Amino acid sequence: MVVVSFIYSAPPDGAKASALQYNLRETVKENELEPHAYLRFLFEK
């Protein structure tokens, strides 16, 4: 379960970064976009 892995992450900043990345990917999928292409688009800007 994803939530459990964030709870037990050692550094709090790492858990926050993981949660943010997971949230972004799931939002992209919910909007019927391809996650890898969208992230590549964001990072190229």
pLDDT at 1: 44
- Asked, for residue 4, whether it belongs to a domain, the answer is no
> For 1-45, how does the pLDDT look when each residue is reduced to its tens digit (9 = 90+)?
455 555 555 677 777 888 888 888 889 989 999 988 988 998 897
Domain limits for position 21:
12-44
What is the tally of structural domains in the chain? Answer: 1
Closest Cα to residue 43, out of 35, 27, 14? 35
- Asked, for residue 30, whether it belongs to a domain, the answer is yes
Please state whether the predicted TM-score (pTM) of the whole model is above 0.75.
Answer: no
- Asked, for residue 6, whether it belongs to a domain, the answer is no
Q: How far apart are CA 14 and CA 22, in angstroms?
A: 12
